[in-house]
Amino acid sequence: MAGVSEDRKVPEPEARQHDGPTARLLHRGLGALAGLIAGFSALAVAELAAAAVRPEASPVTAVGGAFIDRTPPWLKDFAVRNFGTNDKLVLQLGILIVLALLAMVVGVFALHHRRAGSAAVLVFGVIGAVAAASRPGGGPTDALPSLVGALVACGVLYLLAGRLTPRSSPAAGGTGGTFDRRRFVVAATAAVAASAGAGALGVRLNASGSAGAVASRKDIVLPSPASPARPVPAGADLRIRGLSSFTTPNKDFYRVDTALVVPRIDATGWRLRIHGKGVARPLTVTFDDLLRRELIERDITLTCVSNEVGGPYVGNARWIGVRLADLLREAGVRPPSKGGPADQLVARSVDGMTIGSPVETVMDGRDALLAVGMNGEPLPFDHGFPVRMVVPGLYGYVSACKWLQDLELTTFADYDAYWVKRSWSQEAPIKTESRIDTPRPFASPKPGTVPVAGVAWAQHRGIARVEVRVDGGAWHPARLAAEDTRDTWRQWVWEWPATTGNHTLEVRATDKDGYTQTSQRVGTVPNGATGWHSVVVSVT
C-alpha cells in the first residue's frame, strides 16, 4: 500500500526527477540527436556550397572517391561481387552511417564539453576539405563546401548543446538538472528545417549545373558513318526467352567505373590532347573535329575484367567513332614494331582515371575507336559522353576509357595506370568465355526438350565452337547463332532432352585460334577469370 500512494503524495523535487537513470538516458539521447542534426546541417549546407563549386566537391562524394581510390583489390572484388552496380550506393550509405554514429558521439560529448565538442566537428570538415581538394580535377575551392558545412554544424551543435545544458538550480546535483525542453525542440526544429531547405536547394542547383552538358548532348546530330556496320545477320539473335539480346540496349548496358558523380561534360568545350613520347606532331582536337572526320560504325562486345565466370559485366553495342590509329598516325606515332619509342597509350579521363593500352594492339588494324555514338545515339553520360575509347579484344580497364580528355604516349616501363597500381596486369586481352543464360540457376523446367542457351565471347578471335554437358557426361555441340563479327559475342543453344531430377549443366567455348576454355577456375585478379560456367537445375 505504502509505496505508490506515498510517491504520489510526496513528489520528488523536479531536479531530482531529472537526475534519474531514465532522465540521464533521455538527456544523452537528446545530445546524440543534437549531434545528428548538426551532421545533417553540415552535409546539407555543403551540398548547397558545392553547387557554387562542383558536385564532386561535396564531402561524402569526395571522401567516397578518396576511399574508392584506396580500396584494395580484394575489397573492390568483394564489393563488385556482392553489390554489383550498387557498390557505390552501398559505399555512400556506409559513409553516412559512420558519419551518423560519429555525430552522435560528438553530440553526447558536447553536452558536457560544449566548446570542445563543437570544435570537434571542424575536424571532420578538415578531413572532407582535404579529400575534396585532392580529388582529380579538384582545386583549393573544392575544400569550401566541407569547411562551410563544418562551420555551420559547429554553430548548430554549440547552440543545441546550449539548450541542453541544465540551468543551475540549487537542487540540481550530479549530471542532471533542468533544461528547457521546449527551447531545445524549437531550436532543433529550426535547424532541421533550415538545413533541409538548403540541402534541397543544393541538390537542385547541382543537378541544373549540368544543364549545359545535357543541352550539348541533345544538340548533337551524329553524321552517318562513312563506313557503316553491316546489318546484324538475321540469325545472330536466336530470340530465345531468357537469352540476352544480341545488341544490349543502352539502358541495360553494364556500368563499371569509379565515378561517384557521373561526369557531365559540355561537348562544345571538350578538347582531346594527343602528346608524349615519339609524338612528332602533338594534336588537340575538338568534338566537332571528330565529327568532321571519317566515321566508322562497328559492333563490339565490351567485357569487364571483374566479370566472374557467369557474371553480368559484358555487353554488346553498335559504336560510332573515329579510328584511333588514324589520329595517332596523324600525330606521327609509330607502333613499336615500326620503331616507335612508346609501347603504351595512356588514356586519361576528366575524373582522373588512367587506362593504358598497348600501342601495338591499338594500331594493328583492328577497329580501335574513339567512340562518340552508342546504339544510334550520342554516348550516354554513364558510358563516357562525349568521347570514350573502345578497343576490340581488350578488357575495359586496359582499353575503354570513358569521359576521355587526354592521350599520352609512354612506355609500360615508365608508367603504371590506375588499375595496374592496384595489382591488375598491365596488359589484358579478353579471355575466351561462355555463359549459360537459360535455364537460370535453380530453375525447375519440365522434363522434355529444354533449350539451354547463352552467349560466348572471344573478341577479335571469334567463337568456333560451344559445347554443353550434363552431370559431367559427354560434351554435346551447341548450335551457334550466325556470327556478326569476330569482335562480338555469339549466341548458342543446345536442345536438352531433360529428365526428372537435379542436374548440373556446364558450358565451354573454343575460339577460332583453337583454344578451348580451361576448366581451371581462377579469380578475376589480376587479368580475368577462367573456368566453366555451370548451372544447377531441378527438372520436375
Binding site for ligand MTE (CB under 6 A): 253-258, 302, 304, 349, 351, 353, 383, 396-397, 400-403
Query: Given phi > 0 = left and psi -120 to 50 = alpha, else beta, which region is 339?
Result: left
> Which residue, chain included where needed, has cell 553495342?
317
CA 120 to chain CA mean position, Å: 32
By CB under 5 A, is residue 396 in contact with Mo ion? yes
Between 142 and 257, CB nearer to Mo ion: 257
3-state secondary structure at position 332: coil
By CB under 5 A, is residue 391 in contact with Mo ion? no
Q: Which does 367 bind (CB under 5 to 8 A by kind): Mo ion, ligand MTE, none?
A: none
Contact 483, 520 (CB under 8 A): no
CB-based closest residue to Mo ion: 304
Contact 49, 202 (CB under 8 A): yes
The number of C-alpha atoms within 13 Å of 130 and in the hemisphere containing its C-beta is 6
Shortest distance in whole angstroms from residue 142 CB to ligand MTE: 19
From CA 56, how far away is CA 62, in angstroms rounded?
Answer: 6
Shortest distance in whole angstroms from residue 306 CB to Mo ion: 5
Between 60 and 302, CB nearer to ligand MTE: 302
Q: Which does 63 bind (CB under 5 to 8 A by kind): ligand MTE, Mo ion, none?
A: none
Burial class of 50 by CB neighbour count within 10 A (0 to 12, 13 to 18, 19+):
buried
Between 254 and 457, CB nearer to ligand MTE: 254
By CB under 5 A, is residue 304 in contact with Mo ion? yes
Shortest distance in whole angstroms from residue 386 CB to Mo ion: 21
From CA 165, how far away is CA 273, in angstroms rounded?
Answer: 61
By CB under 5 A, is residue 419 in contact with Mo ion? no
Shortest distance in whole angstroms from residue 254 CB to ligand MTE: 5
Instruction: Identify residue 204 by its one-letter amino acid code.
Output: R
Among 254, 270, 397, 457, binds Mo ion (CB under 5 A): 397
From CA 410, how far away is CA 355, in angstroms rounded?
Answer: 12
The DSSP letter of residue 485 is -
Distances from the Cα of 514 to the Cα of 308, 459, 526, angstroms: 23, 14, 24
Q: Which does 258 bind (CB under 5 to 8 A by kind): Mo ion, ligand MTE, none?
A: ligand MTE
Between 256 and 362, CB nearer to Mo ion: 256
Among 110, 144, 188, 256, binds Mo ion (CB under 5 A): 256
Q: Which does 383 bind (CB under 5 to 8 A by kind): Mo ion, ligand MTE, none?
A: ligand MTE
Between 50 and 305, CB nearer to Mo ion: 305
Between 210 and 258, CB nearer to ligand MTE: 258
Contact 360, 335 (CB under 8 A): yes
By CB under 5 A, is residue 529 in contact with Mo ion? no
* Cis, bond preceding 386 (omega within 30 deg of 0): yes
CB-based closest residue to ligand MTE: 396
From CA 376, how far away is CA 253, in angstroms rounded?
Answer: 14
CA 266 to chain CA mean position, Å: 21
Number of H helices, E strands in the chain: 13, 18
Shortest distance in whole angstroms from residue 454 CB to ligand MTE: 20
Q: Which does 295 bind (CB under 5 to 8 A by kind): ligand MTE, Mo ion, none?
A: none
Q: Which does 401 bind (CB under 5 to 8 A by kind): Mo ion, ligand MTE, none?
A: ligand MTE
Between 77 and 330, CB nearer to Mo ion: 77
Q: Which does 400 bind (CB under 5 to 8 A by kind): ligand MTE, Mo ion, none?
A: ligand MTE
CB count within 10 Å of CB 96 equals 14
Contacts to Mo ion by CB under 5 A: 256, 304-305, 396-397
